[in-house]
Homo-oligomer: A and B are copies of this chain.
Amino acid sequence: MRTNYCGLINAQYLDQAVTLYGWVHRRRDHGGVIFIDLRDREGLVQVVCDPDNAPAFQIAEKIRNEFVLRVTGKVRPRPAGTANPNLVSGEIEVLVQSIEILNASLTPPFLMDDENLSEAVRLEHRYLDLRRPQMQANLRLRYKVAMAVRVFLDQHGFIDVETPMLTKSTPEGARDYLVPSRVNTGHFFALPQSPQLFKQLLMVAGFDRYYQITKCFRDEDLRADRQPEFTQIDIETSFLNETQIMALMEEMICGVFKNVMNIDLPNPFPRLTHAEAMFKYGSDKPDLRVPLVLTDLTDVMQDVEFKVFREAALKNGGRVAALRVPGGGALSRKEIDDYTSFVAIYGAKGLAYIKVNALEKGTEGLQSPILKFLPEPVVRIILERSGAKDGDLIFFGADKSQVVNEALGALRAKVGHDRGFAESAWKPLWVVDFPMFERDEEENRWKALHHPFTSPADGHEDLLETDPGKALSRAYDMVLNGSEIGGGSVRIHRQEVQSKVFRALNIGADEANEKFGFLLEALQYGAPPHGGIAFGLDRIVTMMAGAESIREVIAFPKTQRAQCLLTHAPSAVGEKQLRELHIKLRNM
């Protein structure tokens, strides 16, 4: 049996006999001696095969990259001057006594330390790609995070309860993945978009504290960095209010970062209301590593000559705001054009700016095509509010608030990172006091900003009927470095409030009963006050790993076309299978 992992042998094992199992990472012949870097999940060790040991040497001569070996030998110091400080095992090597080839390998399509491989090649041979030390580290990090969460929640009285994967289709929000039922002809299960309703029912059932680390499914177009199936750390508790839940979850996330990465997150996390976040950062998930903030100017632009600003300032729901870029006067024409194209993605029709110079001469030294349309007192307010200094540049956004916020919010983060303002640190925060609803302009109705089971804020219950757009909720999002990593709320625990919210969402009584009747009924049988949160495990681990994509922290991910390049799923299936499920393909 194995005595040691390759990657963990160090000088403390000197002179010991060891038995190792691993893969040939590299083989070198040097001065008639064969050197093998033997790799296992813990890392590399140098194995040395002398020609004196003829039986082993003959085997070693046959060895190629990625062969699987069993090696016995003795740990000895590397010769002076040949230590490798990058390896745990860098001071020692193993002198081979015997080698056994447990399996051969064809020449792999890439080496385990190749970089910049095409993702397609990696995914097609994922079993090789996962041998790469970075991928090994990513998946072990993922495991450590999940296990740290489990241990924390266990210590705090939460129990893991499994909820169904084959459940009911209630399309609201994202598209369901459907599963035809063979036994119940013409009927379909849906894969869960989240265990939301089941965890609420577990609270009604008195479990008090629930968690689950579970797969969720959304059949969305995968433009962003998404996967058809993703993993949620799903948590619910009874009898705690939002302050208590947030404190507990903050403690959990801080503990995970400390235990797994030895990082101290700020304690406590700052809190921003949704309104403040939009006002200052143009985003409900601001990247606080970037210290820049927006300057609101709506109030002073209502009378200016510059039509774009004036109209935005006068429009109901319009906004004029500025983003000061310290030292931004050095931006080239090309850079400013690129930022203009960038904000266009968010619907901004242009990107006005002022270059700030010679402030000792008042507004005279400013440079901008729009200056002539702005009265000097307004320009002075811009300078004052934004805190402009010589050499700065001020960008402007003027449009519907949503466009201004999205454009300047994204620009703030981009310029901040481009220009080196971002502190390379971990900047979590809570965003709270979200509106209950947002307007779906296309469908001309209110949509739940979080989900329809989110409780309205205390005292906002009547607004559900009188002025839904003004109603705030008891939702909270945990944001880290510009990503929402968790979202939750205190839920509705009274049936009449739940019904009111359905009405505000234009879900009629029949539809509500058809889709959510079991919840409405459950709320009438002693549902406790309860709330919870769901964290995106993939996203958190991606950030901790410093990876580019969640695919880097998922063992067998799908492509953006929702395909598995390794197994070739999805695939065509037999007519017999379809017939048993009472379905057929449409003519295409």
Q: What B residues does A238 contact at CB under 8 A?
A: 21
Interface residues of A in 512-540 (CB under 8 A from B): 518, 521-522, 524-529
Q: How far is the CA of A41 from the CA of B528 in the complex (A)?
A: 13
Bound complex: CA A205 to CA B129 (Å): 8
Is A217 part of the contact surface with B, judged by Cβ < 8 Å?
A: yes
Task: Report the bound CA distance from A398 to B99 in whole Å.
Answer: 54
Q: Known contacts A178-B180, A524-B106; is A208 also within 8 Å of B40 by CB?
A: yes
Which listed segment binds B: A50-58, A279-287, A552-560?
Answer: A552-560
Per the bound structure, the CA–CA distance linking A429 and B198 in Å amounts to: 38
Chain B contacts of A240 at CB under 8 A?
1
Judging by beta carbons under 8 Å apart, are B183 and A562 in contact? yes
Q: Would B162 and A165 count as touching, CB distance under 8 A?
A: no
Q: Tell whether A566 is near chain B: CB-to-CB under 8 Å.
A: yes
Q: Which of B66, B167, B522, B562 contacts A526 (CB 8 A)?
A: B66
Establish whether residues B207 and A130, one from each chain, have CB atoms under 8 Å apart when the complex forms. Answer: yes
Taking the closest CB of chain B, its distance from the CB of A410, in whole angstroms, is 27
In this complex, the member of A2, A104, A202, A570 whose beta carbon has the largest number of chain B beta carbons within 10 angstroms is: A570
CB distance from A313 to the nearest CB of B (A): 42
Q: Evaluate contact between B160 and A143: CB separation under 8 angstroms.
A: yes
* CB atoms of A528 and B21 under 8 A apart: yes
Chain B residue with Cβ nearest A241: B1
User: Binary interface profile of A, 218-245, with partner B (CB < 8 Å = 1, else 0)?
Assistant: 0101000000110100000011100010
Residues of B within 8 A of A74 (CB): none
Interface flag for A362 (CB, 8 Å): no
A176 shortest CB reach to chain B, Å = 7
Which chain B residues border A164 with CB–CB below 8 Å? 229, 556, 558, 564, 569
Instruction: Determine which of B68, B184, B580 lies in contact with A528 in the assembled complex, contact meaning CB atoms within 8 Å.
Output: B68
A215 to B564, Cβ gap below 8 A? no
Known contacts: A103-B526, A143-B159, A206-B130. The answer to whether A570 contacts B108 by CB under 8 A is no
Residue A334 is within 8 A (CB to CB) of chain B in the complex: no
Q: Kindly identify, within residues 123 to 159 of chain A, every residue whose CB is under 8 Å from any CB belonging to chain B.
A: 125-131, 135-136, 139-140, 142-143, 146-147, 150, 154, 159
A177 within 8 A of B: yes
Kindly provide the distance from the CB of A188 to the nearest chain B CB, expressed in whole angstroms. 5
Q: Quick check: A191 and B162 within 8 Å, CB to CB?
A: no
Residues of B within 8 A of A108 (CB): 525-526
Residue A459 at the chain B interface, CB threshold 8 Å: no
A4 within 8 A of B: no
What is the chain B residue whose CB lies nearest that of A585?
A: B186
Within 8 A of B (CB), among A226-267: 228-229, 231, 238-240, 244
Residue A568, interface by CB 8 Å = yes
Find out whether the CB atom of B563 lies under 8 angstroms from the CB atom of A165: no
Distance of A494 Cα from B104 Cα, bound (Å): 9
A176 to B588, CA, bound (A): 25
Look across to chain B and name the residue whose beta carbon is closest to the beta carbon of A139. B161
> Which of chain B's residues have a CB closer than 8 A to the CB of A166?
177, 217, 228-229, 558, 569-570
Contact indicator A555/B202 (Cβ below 8 Å): yes
Instruction: Indicate if A370 sits at the interface (CB-CB under 8 A).
Output: no
Stretch of A314-322, A481-489, A571-579 on the interface side? A571-579
> Which residue on chain B has the smallest CB distance to residue A65?
B526
- With A23-B526, A198-B556, A527-B68 as contacts: A583 and B580 at CB distance below 8 Å: no
Q: How far is the CA of A554 from the CA of B525 in the complex (A)?
A: 21
A528 to B562, CA, bound (A): 30
Residues on B with beta carbons closer than 8 Å to the beta carbon of A445: none
Q: How far is the CA of A189 from the CA of B493 in the complex (A)?
A: 37
- CB atoms of B570 and A187 under 8 A apart: yes
Which of A127, A182, A215, A244 has the most CB atoms of chain B within a 10 A radius of its CB? A127
Task: Tell me if A41 and B201 are in contact (CB < 8 A).
Answer: no
A586 at the interface (CB under 8 A from B): yes
A68 and B529 CA atoms in complex are apart in Å by 9
Task: Tell me whether B588 and A186 are in contact (CB under 8 A).
Answer: yes
Is A179's CB under 8 angstroms from B191's CB?
yes
CB distance from A297 to the nearest CB of B (A): 44
A105-B524, A163-B555, A525-B106 known; A586 vs B582 contact (CB < 8 Å): yes
A143 to chain B, nearest CB (A): 4
Closest chain B CB from A500 CB (angstroms): 16
A132 to chain B, nearest CB (A): 9
Verify A183–B561 contact, CB threshold 8 A: yes
18 extra interface residue pairs, beta carbon distance < 8 Å, beyond A39-B206, A162-B231, A166-B217: A1-B239, A21-B239, A21-B528, A23-B526, A41-B207, A108-B526, A127-B202, A129-B205, A165-B165, A165-B215, A166-B569, A167-B564, A167-B567, A179-B570, A180-B583, A186-B588, A187-B570, A579-B586
Question: Which 3 A-B pairs rank lowest in CB-CB distance, beginning with the nearest?
Answer: A130-B205, A105-B526, A168-B569
